[in-house]
């Protein structure tokens, strides 16, 4: 029964997009957290209607904060990896690059973690091979389940504020970055 559904969030991580649903029964105190359609926490009778619940979103910790906002209404906020969702998303936009592409009928979501240089594809870390080239570096890999080659080229923007630019090529064709 989803009658008590009070909040829904979508969180993009390296292993994919996650959908978090929170049910809060304001008469019973019931709390149910669902991640990607799978129930991860259930508390049926709680006398304290405010508080926080911590759970996992993939390999990252999530916390839902339940605060009274006057009368019998409540405010629900999500923290991801110890930060507010807004701060987490801002930081992630600086540390990760995401591309979504379709090749030969298969959809791929490719993520570069700039701090570790890990490359993820459809939720799994890939084996990569780095190579220095004249104007920067290339990180080579194959798309899983195929013989399609890909690489991420890293070149200097020439501007200190912009830093390094990362561009994905699949079968030699540039793939535009996703705003996921």
Instruction: Note the pLDDT tens digit of each residue in 34-84.
Output: 999 999 999 998 778 889 999 999 889 999 999 998 877 899 999 999 999
Backbone φ and ψ for 33, nearest 5 degrees, come out as -115, 130
Q: Which residue has the higher pLDDT, 141 or 71?
A: 141
Q: What is the mean pLDDT of residues 22-40?
A: 92
Q: What is the mean pLDDT of the chain?
A: 92
Distant-in-sequence, close-in-space partners of 32: CB < 8 Å, separation ≥ 6 = 4, 22, 23, 39, 41, 42, 43
pLDDT at residue 145, rounded to an integer:
87
Percent pLDDT > 90 in the chain is 73
Measuring CA to CA, how many Å separate 159 from each of 97, 118, 155, 162, 164?
A: 19, 24, 11, 6, 9
Output the six-digit token pair for 4. 């008590």
In the three-class reduction of DSSP (H, G, I as helix; E, B as strand; rest coil), residue 158 is classed as coil
Domain ranges of the chain: 5-81, 95-175
Q: What is the mean pLDDT of residues 76-102?
A: 95
Query: Does this chain's domain 5-81 share its CATH topology with 95-175?
Result: yes
* Global confidence as pTM: 0.82
Residue 121 in this model has a pLDDT that exceeds 90: yes
Q: What is the mean pLDDT of residues 97-117?
A: 94
CA dihedral sign, ordered 72, 78, 82, 84: negative
95-175 CATH, one of 2.40.128.180, 3.40.50.920, 3.30.1390.20, 3.30.1380.10? 2.40.128.180
Q: What is the mean pLDDT of residues 75-99?
A: 94
C-alpha of 27 from chain center: 33
Q: What is the mean pLDDT of residues 152-179?
A: 90
Q: Is 5-81 in CATH node 2.30.130.40? A: no
Residue 1 in this model has a pLDDT that exceeds 70: no
């Amino acid at each position: 029964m989803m009658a008590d559904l009070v909040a829904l969030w979508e969180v993009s991580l390296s292993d994919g997009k996650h959908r978090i649903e929170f049910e809060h029964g304001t008469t019973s105190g019931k709390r149910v957290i669902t991640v990607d359609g799978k129930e991860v926490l259930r508390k049926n009778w709680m006398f304290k209607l405010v508080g926080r619940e911590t759970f996992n979103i993939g390999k990252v910790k999530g916390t839902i904060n339940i605060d009274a906002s006057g009368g019998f209404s409540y405010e629900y906020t999500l923290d991801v990896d110890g930060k507010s969702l807004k701060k987490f998303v801002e930081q992630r936009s600086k540390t990760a690059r995401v591309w979504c592409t379709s090749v030969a009928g298969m959809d791929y979501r490719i993520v570069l973690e700039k701090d570790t240089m890990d490359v993820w594809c459809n939720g799994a870390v890939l084996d990569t091979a780095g190579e220095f080239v004249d104007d920067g570096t290339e990180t080579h890999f194959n798309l899983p389940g195929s013989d399609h080659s890909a690489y991420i080229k890293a070149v200097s923007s020439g501007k200190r504020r912009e830093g390094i630019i990362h561009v994905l090529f699949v079968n030699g064709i540039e793939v535009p970055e996703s705003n996921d």
